[in-house]
Chains A and B, each alone.
Chain A
């Protein structure tokens, strides 16, 4: 175990990730701007990605890093679609507050 983990300790990574994740959650719950909500979701995703990488290193196993690539790809795709939707909503109603998205209810 001759790497950075031995010097810093895995628990610090976990604390950081949980903090990041909670920041993301609170962002999602409190902000009304859809783009900020997206950003918060990205923070949550990245918190998890960081955790993956930390554990992957800790276990000397690359599987976790492979998963990170997957989740990054999925997140990128999600953002592409989500932003497109937001743009077209903005064109239609001139706002991207998620309260206005109620109107999409069937």
Chain B
């Protein structure tokens, strides 16, 4: 029964993909959209039924389909592990996935390749599900690579634009760099413990005495590099903002709710490994904190509405890693969930704005959309309040828990996280004020066509806004349902409840005031003083450095891309020329020889006879000389 359900869960999106890719064009746009959406909704329903079951029994469901690899001691089976963690992930992957599919029916309706878009989306969800439910690292790796492939396909969906193709390639290659780390980690673990199964790895790591901590740390670091690639952490974060080239639903799905959280998922999954390597945990926390701050500073000055959100995602993911670094897995998972709600809402809202403005993404050319797009405005406002950490909204609870954890472990990182949070509040409200308040700054024609988006777009927005508002309820500071639910997974050491004392209230106060200060600065700057960000050419000083993202891309270009380019040029111009001249040389010599040989065969009997006699003489003299 469970096996069948799990197969339904996994295979309906794949079925949707098959139908859409092969018959989508003939079925028509609406039908392919509906098929795509329904297949995810079916998965969502199954995920809910699993959730209800596991919430009651508290026992993980383990399903083994077949033996996959069997080499002497080493054994990998193809199976699923449905425990609290994977089902939680499933719920929001398929749940938010369904909403985004629904949204895409309307958003992509003018695109001629809509069936392809839905096929890719379905395939993406299929791989995401296999990433989440895999019972061992290899099955997870299939999903891991699969979502990488699908993100490439989706980011480059509008492949007629070369810039978009480059963005897709960048995302793909950056992810591959991280994947190399992940693979190395998998190999080390497989070599050390002869198994890749999560459950047996856990028993093996926890049961073995005199563990080789050196290799264990390297494995943990390698796995974390994989997580860095997927979750866009320093130094592998530059792909995510560029990935905004894809259609907006893709940004919402991949870059808010699913793929980028895979790194968090993997680290949480392998928590038993990271728990034993405190030095790697420190690295994770530092990288997370620094990423969060760096991305937030870049977010301060971006003018592209989706880029602001992209940097905000990088920054929020940094906060999650900050929590992971302190072993506070539940807290990170909590933030993943609330982040999925409000960031998906924000992305879809920005999509609605872009839709309303016929493709305009520059916030300098927006403004005053509040009246024309009330639903978009209110939903985005709620999500912005949530991400800024204003009390009552979901982001407040999750972010506060992260900062609190940081405070208890490492004060400098707490400061970094808090500053990043204040910046978040600032740039989110900068986005809101520039987009929805004051007068419209676009063209007359755009102004004429301003309208609220259709119901298929606003409905997911409303649902996500509600979730963003109340999502915090799943883990209230004193009465955390989430901590109880995830409790069986983690060892008690990692499990810490913060009793609410004076310090905690003070921290909470600082966080709230910080958030409000951020909003206040944005208000003073963009509403009271009515400032509009300068044109690209007029940006100077620090802003210019920030606007150009610290020139990190240029740095990577100089360090990695340029040398590789010149190296490949060298190989092309000299080494390849050398090799091909040798290869073609053989051909030329043969053909020249045969041309000369052809002349011998000229039909002159005299010559033949002469050759015959000469041969005869040669043979005879050889025979004599040989004696």
Write the nearest CB–CB distance from B603 to chain A, whole angstroms.
Answer: 3
Residues of A within 8 A of B609 (CB): 28-29, 37
- CB of A99 within 8 Å of the partner chain: yes
B613 touches A103 (CB 8 A): no
Give per-residue flags for B607-620: 1 if the beta carbon is below 8 A from chain A beta carbons, else 0.
00110010000000
Residues of A within 8 A of B605 (CB): 98-99, 101-102
B603 touches A104 (CB 8 A): yes
- CB of B541 within 8 Å of the partner chain: no
Given contacts A25-B613, A28-B613, A29-B613, contact A98 B603 (CB under 8 A): no
Residues of B within 8 A of A103 (CB): 603
Residue of B nearest to A106 (CB): B603
Give per-residue flags for A69-106: 1 if the beta carbon is below 8 A from chain B beta carbons, else 0.
00000000000000000000000000000110111110
The CA of A98 and the CA of B605, in the complex, are separated in Å by: 6
**Cβ < 8 Å to A, chain B residues 573-605:** 601-605
The CA of A61 and the CA of B606, in the complex, are separated in Å by: 38
Interface size grouping (class) on chain B: under 10
Candidates B602, B610, B613; contact of A102 at CB < 8 Å: B602
The CA of A78 and the CA of B601, in the complex, are separated in Å by: 24
- CB of A32 within 8 Å of the partner chain: yes
Residue of B nearest to A32 (CB): B606
Residues of B within 8 A of A105 (CB): 601-603
Give per-residue flags for B189-205: 1 if the beta carbon is below 8 A from chain A beta carbons, else 0.
00000000000000000
The CA of A101 and the CA of B605, in the complex, are separated in Å by: 7
Residue of A nearest to B609 (CB): A28
Residues of A within 8 A of B602 (CB): 102, 105
B606 touches A98 (CB 8 A): yes
Residues of B within 8 A of A32 (CB): 606
Residue of A nearest to B616 (CB): A25
Residues of B within 8 A of A102 (CB): 602-605
Residues of B within 8 A of A98 (CB): 604-606
**Cβ < 8 Å to B, chain A residues 21-68:** 25, 28-29, 32, 37
The CA of A28 and the CA of B605, in the complex, are separated in Å by: 10
Residues of A within 8 A of B610 (CB): 29
B603 touches A29 (CB 8 A): no
The CA of A37 and the CA of B605, in the complex, are separated in Å by: 11
Candidates A25, A29, A104; contact of B606 at CB < 8 Å: A29
The CA of A29 and the CA of B610, in the complex, are separated in Å by: 6
Residue of A nearest to B604 (CB): A102
Write the nearest CB–CB distance from A48 to chain B, whole angstroms.
Answer: 12
The CA of A25 and the CA of B620, in the complex, are separated in Å by: 14
Residue of A nearest to B606 (CB): A98
Residues of B within 8 A of A101 (CB): 603-605
Q: Which 10 A-B pairs have the closest CB atoms?
A: A105-B603, A102-B603, A98-B605, A101-B605, A102-B604, A28-B609, A25-B613, A98-B606, A29-B610, A29-B609
A-B contacts, 27 listed (Cβ < 8 Å): A25-B613, A28-B609, A28-B613, A29-B606, A29-B609, A29-B610, A29-B613, A32-B606, A37-B609, A98-B604, A98-B605, A98-B606, A99-B604, A99-B605, A99-B606, A101-B603, A101-B604, A101-B605, A102-B602, A102-B603, A102-B604, A102-B605, A103-B603, A104-B603, A105-B601, A105-B602, A105-B603
Binding site for A on B (CB under 8 A): 601-606, 609-610, 613
Known: A37-B609, A98-B604. 19 other contacts (CB 8 A): A25-B613, A28-B609, A28-B613, A29-B606, A29-B609, A29-B610, A29-B613, A98-B605, A99-B604, A99-B606, A101-B603, A101-B604, A102-B602, A102-B603, A102-B604, A102-B605, A103-B603, A104-B603, A105-B601
